[in-house]
Amino acid sequence: MFIPPNYMIVKIAIFFLKVMSLSQHCMPAAPKPSVYYPILGLAILDFTAPSLIYTVVLWVAHVVLLFLMVRISAGLCVY
Instruction: For residue range 2-51, list pLDDT tens digits in order.
Output: 556 677 888 888 889 888 888 887 788 888 888 888 888 888 888 887 77
pTM over 0.85: no
| Dihedral angle over CA of 71, 21, 9, 57, nearest 10 | 0
d(CA 66, CA 8): 24
Cα–Cα distances in angstroms (integers) from residue 58 to residues 2, 19, 70, in the given order: 21, 13, 18
The DSSP H or E segment spanning 76 is none
More confident residue, 21 or 72: 21
> Taking the CB of residue 58, how many other CB atoms lie within 10 A of it?
20
Q: CA 9 to CA 28: how far, in whole Å? A: 29
Average pLDDT over residues 52-71: 84
